[in-house]
Chain A
Amino acid sequence: MKRKKVDLAQAPVTFAKGVDERYKAATPLRGLLNKVFPDHWSFLLGEIALFSFIILLLTGVFLTLFFDPSMKEVAYEGPYSALRGTEMSAAYESSLRLSFEVRGGLFMRQMHHWAALLFMASIVVHMARIFFTGAFRKPREANWAIGVVLFLLGFLAGFTGYSLPDDGLSGTGLRIASAIMLSIPVAGTWISASIFGGEFPGHLIIGRFYIAHVLLIPGGLLALISVHLGLVFAQKHTQWPGPMRTNTNVVGERMFPRYALKQGGFFMAVFGTVALMAGLFQINPIWLFGPYRASEVSSASQPDWYVMFMDGLVRLMPNWQIYIGDYSIPPLFWPAVVGLGALTTVPMFYPWIEARRLKDKTVHNLLQRPRDNPERVGIGAMSLAFFMVATLSGGNDVIADKFHISLNAMTWAGRIGLLILPPLAYYISVRVCLGLQQHDREVLAHGVETGIIRRLPNGQFIEVHQPLGPVDDHGHPIPLEYGGWVVPKKMNRVGALAPAIKGFFFPVEKPAEAPVSPGMPPVTGQEKREEITTGR
């Protein structure tokens, strides 16, 4: 029999054909490779959350290999001599072992914790970006709601996670969590007893939090993140307005080669940042806190930053107890149960609320500059002011201590600030937006201020304006329509000065074009370049 000659060069082709015969992948795969993504730095905030989540999964799996989620009492015999001989739970002991006796264990623990903090921080910043640019409008309302749920899940993942080491600080957090459950009317004692398996602290809570932290919550996060990204993919990303950009197209780069490569590089940069923080900045030094003992606590007991707003609200709540016959509702119920519930559910409905208020049923794929919707910016600023006051109040004892302010004065400042600052933030931000809007219109109508003062024959001084568009017979600019995008307001933005040289490397040649936004077309003519025809 004649042997068939194997042609190695043809092998990939044969393989690809074989795959396509079975899975019919050619057309969808090409669609994927070609998919166009718009580009803007603010679209990368959500990516930071995604990359942090990947780092969390990687480091978290490593930590489970050494952690023992048990509340059995053991005596510490490890190398950290300050705690030697101390009775502690096996969970705390294994966390100490992970920190001191596993090669690189402390590094992994700190990487996990920093990635968690970055995860929550990027979620919040990403949410603010979505909110202020109106990216949540139809058809993306559901994805906004999913995002809010992701914040809540992240919050729970964080709380269950930092409770696991069972150190002095996290045990205090668990104690407060139990008190929050107890404060729920009618069912409170039953809920707390059921979750803790009896009276606080019981013997089960670490094991239960462990399975919630490593399976249930990450499972939920993974599922919702998949849906979140799937929807972004299917509905295509929003884009800023600008030349060529319409509500029915996407202007940007194809996923391959450039866009995907940039994403990969960005992931590595985020990963590197987390690694650097994990190496250099100590986080949650559990060995300093000692094991949890119900009788011990230190001052400056603060939760992680994304829980601090709740702690702050609890601190600021006046001691108003509601008595109903023989029963009562403790004040803790309002900030911790109603407050957290409302703060994580009401925002979910904002897209529908706004659409209803504006009677807006159209599809929006173009983003809005924040200034173009002052009420929305006002509401956002109000929420942020509320969040800031609540978060700072979560550390008001530290502020009082470091700045030598009376603690009671800090509490009162928080109480008053929580009521006064949000409306103030609303008012100021709405006025700022309106002012910016007006200035945009002014420049479009009269041109850019040149800074050149001219004296007219009659002695009057005027400032010369550079019109942005055509002028009428008298030399006055014809007012331009506002396009929803940046209006150039300085002469060097319209090419009066040589463009500032920007770049990662020192300038290697004359920049190809003025570094302008798509809305600011360069004034000078551009050199003609040749189109690449090889696809190299």
Chain B
Amino acid sequence: MTTVHDKSTDAPVDVTDPRLSRFEIVKEGARRDEIEIVTYESQFHGTDSKAEKRVVRNIALLFLIAGVGGFAFLGFYIWWPWRFELGDTLSDYYTPLLGISLAVSLFGVGFGILAWAKKLLPHEVSIQQRHNDPSPSDEQLITGQTMLFVADELGQGVQRRPLLKGAIAIGMAPIGLAAAAPLIGGLIENPHKDDPPIMFSTGFNKAHNGGNLVRLTRDDGSPIRPDDVSTGGQMTVFPGIPGGATNEWADSPTLLIHLRPDDAQLTRENADADVRNKGSMWGDYVAYSKICTHAGCPASLYEQQTNRLLCPCHQSQFLITRNAQPIFGPATRRLPMLPLGVDEEGFFVAKSDYKDTVGPDFWERP
């Protein structure tokens, strides 16, 4: 490994000596930085060797490729049709062409520089000394004493003067709080301030519809008749209030299911055996909150054969015929059932808001 050892590390060098080569001055600088340049040797035999010329040609080629890539990128960027159009058009290739041409250009520069450094520049091994030792113990002592001195001057001064101690305590605490208050205080929102409380109510609450029962509507706001949902079918419904289908009412999306008669019978038996869900079905129709009780994703995959609802986010599964109890996955709580009714015009309404809390679970849910 080691070929040439630097023997001149001991003697001081007069750097103004005109006989010194530039490299000798560099070596002296390195020596002052505690670096020994062990090897600094050309990768080629002699000067202007065939091998060296070949390497130089290759590096030059890489830089030329970089230039061609750069021009290609500019060309594509300026002249290639870039406006998006539907269907198979030339604009589909705009982003790939930009990527390829820029990559060619950058790879050209990158590998050119790398080849230059690795193949053309002389090989080098240098050794620099590290200093693992901590500061000298007397330095440690002096600095420590200086810090203690400062602490004494300030701290004991306060210790000796009780009035100052009290005044600083009383004066500083409010300053700190005053600085923090506007930064944090403005953000704080009371989740329980609204009436009806937002955490426990949805758009199906009568309060949002001027005290009238809220209809079940499609996302375009049109109401739904029982005939609109075929047997075994399901439909996502929203509260029939202004903006009811928007994210303003993110807790309100509901799944209206028209069960087959035998499933409906089973579902009704289970619902009537439950205090809260009793009488919430209308005929063979049942409506469950679509918002998963685990993390709030829409539990929207309806498996007709097994009567399961599956949430695609974390795969909680709910059994429709058994009050939407969770039967697999991380959810603990059943999907709330919306008390269904039909108004005098024959459209579905919610007889009341959900009796269970909709959406992901939290600490103070009753």
A residues lining the B interface (CB < 8 Å): 30-31, 34-36, 73, 79-82, 87, 99-101, 103-104, 106-107, 110, 139, 171-172, 175-176, 178-180, 182-190, 192-195, 197-201, 236, 243-244, 247-254, 257-258, 261-262, 264-273, 275-280, 292-301, 311, 314-321, 326-332, 363, 365, 396-397, 407-408, 411, 503-505, 508-509, 512, 518, 521, 526, 528-535
Contact = CB atoms under 8 A, between A and B. Distances in A.
B110 A276 contact: no
A67 to B, nearest CB: 18
B339 interface: no
A299 B39 CA distance: 61
Contacts of B251: 199-200, 294
Given A300-B312, A328-B361, A331-B294, 12 more contacts: A30-B29, A179-B294, A200-B251, A251-B125, A265-B117, A266-B114, A275-B99, A276-B103, A279-B96, A397-B312, A504-B114, A508-B50
B102 A247 contact: no
Contacts of B35: 34, 36, 254
Interface stretch (B189-197, B223-231, B270-278, B348-356): B189-197
Given A278-B99, A295-B298, A299-B312, A183 B360 contact: yes
Contacts of A270: 110
Given A268-B113, A293-B247, A532-B42, A330 B332 contact: yes
29 contacts: A79-B85, A79-B86, A100-B83, A104-B77, A107-B94, A107-B98, A190-B189, A236-B128, A236-B130, A244-B2, A249-B129, A261-B117, A266-B114, A270-B110, A272-B102, A275-B106, A277-B99, A279-B97, A279-B103, A294-B298, A298-B312, A316-B330, A320-B332, A326-B366, A407-B315, A504-B114, A508-B51, A531-B39, A534-B22
A13 to B, nearest CB: 14
B260 interface: no
Given A261-B121, A279-B98, A300-B312, A534 B23 contact: yes
Contacts of A521: 1
A535 B26 contact: yes
Interface of B: 1-4, 21-24, 26, 29-30, 32-33, 35, 37-45, 49-51, 54-55, 58, 77, 82-86, 94-100, 102-107, 109-119, 121-132, 187-192, 198-199, 219, 236, 238, 245-247, 249-251, 253, 290-291, 294-298, 300-301, 312-316, 326, 328-333, 359-366
B360 A321 contact: no
A34 B313 contact: no
B312 A257 contact: no
A328 to B, nearest CB: 7
B312 A533 contact: no
B103 A332 contact: no
B330 A194 contact: no
Contact of A330 (B113, B125, B130, B361): B361
Contact of A265 (B114, B192, B295, B364): B114
A261 to B, nearest CB: 4
Given A264-B113, A265-B114, A295-B290, A200 B330 contact: no
B199 A189 contact: yes
Given A79-B84, A199-B251, A252 B364 contact: no
B130 A250 contact: yes
Contacts of A35: 33, 128
Contacts of A332: 294-295, 330, 360-361
Contacts of B129: 248-249
A264 B84 CA distance: 36
Contact of A535 (B23, B45, B104): B23
Contacts of B315: 315, 396-397, 407-408, 411
A504 B119 contact: yes
Contact of B119 (A280, A363, A505): A505
A297 B313 contact: yes
A183 B361 contact: yes
A15 B253 CA distance: 72
A527 to B, nearest CB: 9
Given A528-B3, A532-B41, A192 B332 contact: no
A317 B58 CA distance: 57
Contacts of B123: 512
Given A34-B35, A249-B130, A314 B330 contact: yes
Contact of A194 (B122, B187, B366): B187
B43 A512 contact: yes
In the A-B complex, list the 5 residue pairs whose CB atoms are closest, starting with the nearest.
A279-B99, A268-B110, A535-B23, A272-B106, A265-B113
Nearest to B249: A294
A193 B191 CA distance: 6
Contacts of B126: 36, 251-254
B216 to A, nearest CB: 13
Given A252-B126, A328-B361, A104 B114 contact: no
Contact of B190 (A193, A250, A296): A193
A188 B359 CA distance: 14
Given A314-B295, A521-B1, A301 B330 contact: no
B127 A244 contact: yes
Nearest to B331: A319
Given A275-B99, A321-B332, A295 B21 contact: no
Contacts of B314: 311, 314-315
B130 A365 contact: yes
B191 A189 contact: yes
B300 A296 contact: yes
